């Protein structure tokens, strides 16, 4: 079983601050890295899927990067807003069966 680690576990920022979180994963037999946003009382929502080393994806104020050689991905949020408050999950796939292994998530709270 792959071991996917996310840090920090939780984060409080003020509205307007920019922030970032880390996802680390085993770099051997890597296939894809997924980021999801999970708001309270809603379903997890896909943000990005990245597969190639050096990939960068962007959706509005949120962007992500991928380093498959060293096994990490960063998620950045520029100018955080209260509606960005959610748990951000990353998941990695690889190995012999490519199943997704999820990290425990980073809980972001943006204070107005």
Q: Which residues bind other proteins (CB under 8 A)?
A: 1, 4, 31-32, 34, 36, 42-46, 49, 89, 91, 93, 97-105
Q: In angstroms, give the least distance from the CB of 7 to other proteins.
A: 13
Closer residue to other proteins in complex, CB, 42/112: 42
Q: Which H, E and C letters describe 12-67, residue by residue?
A: EEECCCCEEEEEECCCCCEEEEEEEEECCCCCCEEEEEECCCCCEEEECCEEEEEE
Q: In angstroms, give the least distance from the CB of 46 to other proteins.
A: 4
Closer residue to other proteins in complex, CB, 31/54: 31
Closer residue to other proteins in complex, CB, 17/32: 32
Structure-derived torsion over alpha carbons of residues 89, 54, 98, 72, reported in degrees to the nearest 10: -50
Q: In angstroms, give the least distance from the CB of 91 to other proteins.
A: 8
């Amino acid at each position: 079983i792959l071991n996917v680690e996310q840090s920090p576990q939780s984060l409080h920022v003020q509205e307007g601050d920019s922030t970032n979180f880390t996802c680390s994963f085993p770099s051997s037999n890597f296939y894809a890295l997924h980021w999801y946003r999970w708001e309270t009382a809603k379903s997890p929502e896909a943000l990005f899927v990245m597969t190639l080393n050096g990939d960068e994806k962007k959706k509005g104020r949120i962007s992500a990067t991928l380093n498959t050689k060293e096994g990490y991905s960063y998620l950045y949020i520029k100018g955080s807003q209260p509606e960005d408050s959610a748990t951000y999950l990353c998941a990695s796939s690889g190995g012999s069966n490519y199943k997704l292994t999820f990290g425990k998530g980073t809980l972001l709270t943006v204070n107005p």
